[in-house]
Structure 1
């Protein structure tokens, strides 16, 4: 019986450790764009001493089709290794060194070691052809590197990017013709009839006088 319990305990430890280790090559859906999902809420990372600071840096204004260079920096927290997830609606993300695309989002390809108290991931964003404000969502994970779910912490950041020089977004009202022309000419048939009646009456008078 004791041997069985020891085996069960060993399996449980492996599962807990595996939940964190399984995401060491990246995960998507934790950027903060999806409400209620985060590195902590996923059950893979929790209990770290100190919350890290996550910052997004890069141009806040782009012209349509322009490529902007951005960086996500994680500072503080357990501070041994770092991971990330970045997402944005409507724009195209391109992976940089140490990152990869996963279902249209960016994540780390491997945990990045902290250097001088921080870890940085670079990436690029291609502005879409439609004008508007596009929000970049980012999550940064600061972990202790022991491949267990405990002792890790994360934080989120966002950055608004304004795109100009492209086409304006189409709204439903822009595609509808409310019949302005028909309203303006709705009285035309009656007016023409009145003109014809007046001309006919005039001709009758002229013929009588002649």
Structure 2
């Protein structure tokens, strides 16, 4: 019986956490970055919405860019979202109106209502990291029917690549060590060549 109880508890927790009502104030870890989406909490029962990420595709290190996750269609009563970054460490996300920062990711404070079928927009800003590379923005948008149940909802994901320039180049693991070793190992070779040259001159002089 002891081995069954933890499993039952885990299932019960999942059911509670999985309800749309429980996550009405937002949740992190559903952007698709780690392969987890809104489907873990909302069972699809309608046509999926269209989700897009809008904003600059290139930033210089330290520059602030204005971005938005836009949700169109689906059940179309209310909408929520989750945004995260990956690929290059050090990016800073700042929540816009109707959203908040949770565990380094962005999510809705409360669901936003669709008005006359118009898309729902969640604005946010992103400060580029100090390291050059391709920063990937992961976004998930949820369009729900507003009945506070986990069924009859639909979601979609989107990604956006942002090229970071003007910062420091990424360091390849072991790169510094290899450079140090090659420089160190080169010194004995040079010294050996000098000594050999001096020895040859002495033999000639003798």
Task: Give the superposition deviation at 1:20.
Answer: 1.4
Q: 1:17 to 1:136 in 2, by over 3 A?
A: closer
Structure 1 unmatched ranges of 5 or more: 1-11, 204-210
Are the equivalent residues in 1 in contact too, given 2:16–2:22 (CA < 8 A)?
A: no
Count of residue correspondences: 187
Q: Partner of 2:115 in structure 1?
A: 115
- After TM superposition, the structure 1 = structure 2 runs for residues 22-41 of structure 1, keeping only pairs within 5 Å, are 22-35=22-35, 37-40=36-39
Partner SS for 1:20: coil
Counterparts of 2:192 and 2:17, CA distance in 1: 82
- Structure 1: 4+ residue segments shifted above 6 A: 15-18
Is structure 2 residue 49 aligned with structure 1 residue 62? no
Structure 2 unmatched ranges of 5 or more: 1-11
- After TM superposition, the structure 1 = structure 2 runs for residues 39-54 of structure 1, keeping only pairs within 5 Å, are 39-40=38-39, 42=40, 44-54=41-51
CA RMSD across the alignment = 2.3
Is structure 2 residue 182 aligned with structure 1 residue 179? yes
Q: 1:135 to 1:18 in 2, by over 3 A?
A: closer
Q: Partner of 1:75 in structure 2?
A: 72
Larger Rg: 1
Counterparts of 1:26 and 1:67, CA distance in 2: 24
- After TM superposition, the structure 1 = structure 2 runs for residues 115-134 of structure 1, keeping only pairs within 5 Å, are 115-117=115-117, 118-134=119-135
Q: Partner of 2:93 in structure 1?
A: 93
Q: 1:76 to 1:197 in 2, by over 3 A?
A: closer
Counterparts of 2:71 and 2:24, CA distance in 1: 16
Counterparts of 1:75 and 1:194, CA distance in 2: 78
Q: 1:121 to 1:192 in 2, by over 3 A?
A: same
